[in-house]
Structure formats: C-alpha cells, structure tokens
Structure 1
C-alpha cells in the first residue's frame, strides 16, 4: 500500500441521517477519542462453511434466495447493495437490491418462479417494465428484521420491472435509491429503455410504483450517496472510463422535481485520468488533494449512452469502474474496482464545498484525493460496495476471483480483514450497519444468502 495515504480525519455529524439513526453518537464519540482503533484479531474457520469471522462474532442467515416471502413471491437471487433503516417498533427495515436480468428463474433467479407464473399476483402497473416475453426481474426487496430475536418477521417485493439493480444508497429522508447497472434499450426482451435510478421509501409495506428519475441521467449506474446538508446526490458509473456524477436537485429531498446533472473535474488537470494504469498519462498519487469543479451535462437521458464521453471531452475526470459510494464523516467515499497500477482497486474521498451545488462554491471548492490504492491484491482485491462503520473505519466488499471478504481501512490507512469467504468464490455485497450500530448486514451474492453479523463491535 502507498505510504503517503493521508489519515482519515473523523468528524461528528457525518452520518446519513435516516439510514443510520443513532450512529451519530458513535461517530461523535470516535471523533472526540471515545472509541479507540480496533484490532479484531485473526479470523476463525466457520464450521458452517459460509463466512469466517473474528473470535466473538457470529452470523445468522436472515434471507435465502428461492424461499417464499410474505407476499407469496420468492426471495430473488443476486442480492447486492442495501441499507438498513429504523422502524418505529425497534425493528430494522433492510432494503436490498437484486442484480437480475430478464428471464431469471429458479433459486438464483427472480421473484416470480418458474415460467414467471407468480407475476400475475402483483399489481402489473407498478412494474417499470413488464418486458417482452418475460418480465424484467430486477428490483428490491424489503425485510423487517427483529434484532432481539434474530428473526426476519416479514419480507416482500418493493420494486420490480427494473434491470441489474446493482447498488444504490440511502437518503436522509428515509428512502433507498436503487440504481440500474444497465443501458438496455427497447427490444424483444425490453418494453422500455433502462439505465435509471428509482426511489423506494423504506416505510412502505408493499410493492411501490416504479418511477424512473430521468433527470438523474441514463447511464451504467452503480451507486448513489446523498450529502445530508445540501441534499446533493453523488452517482458512480461502472465503466472502465466512467465519471463521477452529482445531481443537484431543484428541491432538496424531492428528486422527482428535477435538477442538474453534472460531472466532476479537477481545476489543475483538464480531463484528468485518476486510474494510474500504465496507459494513464500522468500519475495520480495518494494523499494529494485537488480542487474540484463540476461540469453541467445536457441530453442526460443519453439514447446513445454517450454521457461519459461527452463529459470527459469537456474536462471531466476518468475513474476505473466506479462502484460503491457512501457518505460519512462529512465526506464522500467511493470505490473504483479496477483502479491502480495493479488494477486491484482504489478508494477516493471527496470533501464538498461548504456551498456545494450553489453559485458560491467556486469561492471555496470541494476537494478530492486518492485515499487508498491497493498494490497488494492479497491485502485488498477489487473493492466494490463499501460503508463507513460506526467507529469511523471503512469496510470494503471485495469482488474478485478467489477469496472475497470484508476489508477494513483504519484511520491511519492500514488494512485488516474482518471477514472472508474461502468456501464458494462468491463476492460479498451490500455491507451496512443497523441504525444502532450493533448488527452488520451483508450479502453473499452467488449463494443467495443475506447475513446478519453480531458481536463485540466498538461502542456496542
């Protein structure tokens, strides 16, 4: 790892408000020295053959692809990004993406069963795309988890008719933004174009009407993160030559009311290449901050999927497969899965302007820096989803060949393995904490399992 990585400076009040009610006090305690850096120790072999964890930690399987849900549909496969929200009962509502193409059936498939015979049980008009011969099977499920009993009490389909819902992000007003990693167009399998963001309120107990937020752009979306104070939404793009986008809403918290879509650029480098590949014209060292500005984009529904090329031509910076995004500690963290000289992954940090999204931000611009670049795939390989832990560390989900795990990044930049899956090669996805910080949820995608991990987390 690069020895020049700068220390993560923790600050109180950096929580995503609705998704992490209660975590503010833990971040604040860490910022004032209330929580020390944690060494979880060596991982223990799991006799169940699912996930290795440090001593004192255990998991429960709380959802399994193919099982019947409360609404009579099946738990879809390919669980990916997710977030946890507080329920007034003290339970946790977990909204989870499912990265599915049309036509998925079977245990690792969609919610409608073989021949999609259960599709007729839903309100068809609430599906975004009922498809051609087969419905689009991507979307989200929501489950109600009882942390006291460790039992999932209900689970239901909450968004459907979308495609390859990979990641997304929670909002401060209590919803989940589900992002399509697709730019499919109308053909014999699709009745509508895809590549949009959809909003799913966490409080709704049934399938919501799928409304594409077209002003947020049509591209190969990956994740979303909202800055609580400004309401600005940041968006990543899973392309080798992707951009980092932001959406400045016309009305804070009312994303369907429209707004401006922009791409990040660096004041000191027109069209900067941050990837550090051998083909990159200039090195992009870790620990060096760069003043940013944002380029307005037009024709954001982009029928030809050209947003990134047009943005880069205007000066926007390139990123290597932007994936996980998470807001915490008054900053945005995002992962680039294939960035770095070894193409083993990078993590960037963006600190916004105090006037983010307004005409005054040029006076005090936001700044971006490369925080982590992996030069050792054994230590960190191809980080994907990520979250900010209650004690201030980052937790990164690996998506690579071989063993995939959860890798922690301490405030000093050092790494540790919190979990490992040496059993089936499945990536881990969707890591997020319950609002009280006492349960960590994660998906084991290929096996169709959602796990709830408990143990001696800092501040427990």
Structure 2
C-alpha cells in the first residue's frame, strides 16, 4: 500500500486518531474527490434578495457593481471583475480585483474595509493593461496581476496603490494565475491554452521579481507520477512560444486558478474540468478532482476556474459556467456545493478570496445578470466558516 493511501485509510479507520499540520495535509486530497454525502455546511437554502443560495447561517451582500460608484467612495468599479485576493490592513483588510478588459482597458482595483467590514475607500491600483484575468498575492504583500493574452505579462502592484511594475522575467505568455511558495522561494504560474504548461519562476533574490529563471513542469502523459522542472531558454516567448521550448513539458488543458499551502500547489484546468495537486516535497503530481471520475454522478463541479483555500484546508473552486457555483473540496477528498448564484447563466464566478480572519469570502460574477462585462457584481459572504 502506498504511503498516501495508508495515511488516508488510517484517518478513515481510526476515528480517535487526529492528524494536524503538515501530516494532515499529506493525508489530504490523495485521490480524486467524490461527492460528500453530508456537506460540512448542509444544504443550500432558498436564494436571497441577490439571487445567492447559501447554507443556513451564511449571509451575502453586494459590495460593488461595474460602472457604479462604490458606496461611500467616489471610485467607479471596473468592468469584468475577475481574479482577486485579500490583504491585511491594520485592523481591516483590502480586497483587490482584476479587470478582464482588453485593448488596454484592463487593470485592477481595490476595496478597503475597516474593522467592522465597512468600505472606507476604493481606488485603482493598475490600469492600461490587457485582459487581467487572475493572479496571486505575494508574501511581501503585493498583487501579481496576470494578462491573459498570448503576449501577456505579469504586473506587480501594491494593494495600497502606487506605480505598478511589469515583471518581464516571469515570461511572456497567456498568463492566468500565480501562487507564491515561501518555502522554496518560487512563484507558480498557470497558462490558459489548450496545450499550456505549468510554470515555476525562481527569482534571483526572494522578494524581488525583477530577475530570475523561468521553468516549466516536465512529466509523462498520465494523470499522476513524478515530475522535474525544465528551464525555459527564452521567457520572452518570441519567436517560439514558451510552451514550445522545453522537450517533455507536461501539457495541461487550459490552466486557470492556482493556490499554494503546506508543500502543495493546486491548480485547475478548464478544458477537462480537473483540479490538479502537486506534492512539492515528494516531487509528484496527481488529480484532486476530475468530473469524469465522480461516481455516482452527476459531478457537482464543471467549468472549473479560480481556486482558493481556507484556514481549515478546504479548497473553494469557482465555476466559469456550470451552475454558477462555488464548490468546496475538503481535506478528506469530498466535494460539495457551497453556494449557487441564480439568474446569471451568461456570467462566470471568479476571484474567491478570504479576508485575513477567514470569516468573509469575496467573489465576483463577471457579467452579472446582464451577461455583459459592464454588468459585473462583486459579493461578500459572511458566516461560520471552518477554521
């Protein structure tokens, strides 16, 4: 029996044995997730006034709408809100959100909250860029905003505002999301192409992304196994695209969200509705979720997109399409629907992120009820999240 299988069996078979910290994470998500017969938060309740179905004990509110002034501020919220993250801000916090708008109309904005969750200010932190889809936070409290075009860059900017910096060394390709690994002092990057790669940027100096080495994951064609990293010779991707430069690169079908925690990085691929997990300590990769492997069906999660994690180790995956849901994968390989947004079938959910205390979840519906990028809605959900 493999060690991971043994650990998972031990957790299931010995109800009095408690795993914690890294050992619990090592046991977690060791096989593709299956339906949870008893979801942690119970069944969804009828939709609220905003069309959101939530479990009992949770409430939702709208915090911003595209094209409208953010309440209590003079800032107009951007169109097509996408990837996001939260940052601590004294007694409050900041939620940043990308604008997936092309032709130089993209960028990112921020909502600043006081200790009581009242919005105290809102402002732009990046502008003039293209199709800023997802991204990721850094340990030094900056936001990496990724351009989802073939000649796209990663832009580093501050949640508090100021000048943004283009990080050319991180590669020029169809960027999607980023996740920082403070243990190995690298940043992982996804690529939204049907034949995309999964990248690792190794900065020359941790905390400074101005120079470094871009690598891409190399492995076989299977859904699990060992892997290595290969150096991308020309991160600029011209004349040959970065994903075409390294023989043996593992191909992933439409890379989307990316999340790191406890020696593991998870990322999603929308082309095959999968969530992948990379065990960085063991040097292996495997499936955390595959909609074709859920039995009995139907699979709850389709159109996988952005992904984030909670303090309890639960993963939250937003749908681009599907039933407009955010689904939850627990550390014991169980998946359930956490919330559903009704009446917005021409939109997608994106940007899930928890505030520092872990009791508020932010996310956006990119096109809202109108189906247009100008109809985006950004929400906050409050409730008894597991910690």
| Shorter-chain TM-score tier | 0.7 to 0.9
CA distances 1:311-337 after superposition (whole Å, capped 9, x unpaired)? 3xx111000101000011321010111
Find the residue that maps to 1:44 and give its secondary structure. coil
Contact 1:217/1:302 (8 A) holds in 2? yes
- The 5 Å alignment of 1:341-360 reads 345-353=273-281
State whether residues 73 and 120 of structure 2, in contact with CA within 8 Å, keep that contact through their aligned partners in structure 1.
no
Q: 1:81 aligns with which of 73, 80, 83?
A: 83
Measure, in 2, the Cα distance between the counterparts of 1:154 and 1:244: 36
Q: How far did residue 71 of structure 1 move?
A: 8.0
Aligned to 1:138: 106
Structure 2, unpaired ranges of 5+ = 12-18, 29-37, 369-375
Report the CA distance between 1:151 and its aligned residue.
2.2
Q: 2:300 aligns with which of 358, 379, 382?
A: 379
Matched, 1:450 2:378: yes
Does residue 348 of structure 2 align to residue 427 of structure 1? yes
**TM-score normalised over the length of structure 1:** 0.71
d(CA) in 2 for partners of 1:195, 1:78? 18
Matches of 2:59 and 2:283, distance apart in 1: 40
Paired position in structure 2 for 1:388:
309
8 Å CA contact 2:45, 2:55 repeated in 1: yes
Aligned residues, how many? 350
Does the 8 Å contact 2:324/2:344 carry over to 1? no
CA–CA distance in 1 between the matches of 2:157 and 2:106?
13
Distance 2:89 2:50 in 1: 32
Aligned to 1:156: 123
Q: Which residue of 2 aligns with 1:322?
A: 255
Query: 1:209 Cα deviation (Å)?
Result: 2.4
- For the pair 1:171 / 2:155, whether they are aligned, the reply is no
Instruction: Give the structure with the higher percent strand.
Output: 2
Q: Conserved in 2, the CA contact under 8 Å of 1:219 and 1:305? A: no
Matched, 1:198 2:167: no
CA contact 1:65–1:74 (8 Å) conserved in 2:
yes
Q: Report the RMSD for the aligned CA atoms in angstroms.
A: 2.5
SS at match of 1:43: coil
Q: Which residue is 2:102 aligned to?
A: 101
TM-score normalised according to structure 2 size:
0.84
**1:377 Cα offset (Å):** 5.8
Pair 1:264 & 2:217 matched: yes
| 1:337 aligned onto 2:270 | yes
Q: Given the alignment, which residue of 335, 344, 368 partners 2:285?
A: 368
Q: Unmatched 5+ residue regions in structure 1?
A: 15-26, 31-36, 103-135, 184-193, 273-283, 340-344, 354-364
- Of 320-329 and 47-56, more deviation after overlay is shown by 47-56
**What is the CA deviation profile of residues 141-165 of structure 1, one whole-angstrom value per residue up to 9, with x for unaligned ones?**
01101352x3211000000111100
**Partner residue in 2 for 1:415:** 335
Change (3 A) 1:41 1:236: same
For residues 319-366 of structure 1, the C-alpha deviation after alignment (integer angstroms, 9 at most, x for no partner) is 010100001132101011122xxxxx111111224xxxxxxxxxxx62
* Structure 2 CA distance for aligned equivalents of residues 164 and 236 of structure 1: 15
Partner of 2:229: 294
Partner of 2:32: none
Name the residue aligned to 2:31. none
Counterpart secondary structure, 1:250: strand
* Per-residue Cα deviation, 1:202-223 (whole angstroms, up to 9, x for no partner): 2x2x3x3232111100000000
Does the 8 Å contact 1:7/1:411 carry over to 2?
Answer: no
CA positional deviation for 1:228: 1.4
1:160 is paired with a residue of what secondary structure?
strand
1:212-250 per-residue CA deviation (whole Å, 9 max, x = no partner) reads 111100000000001012220000000011000110000
Aligned counterpart for 2:181 among listed residues 222, 227, 231: 227
The match for 2:372 is none
Aligned twin of 2:241 = 306
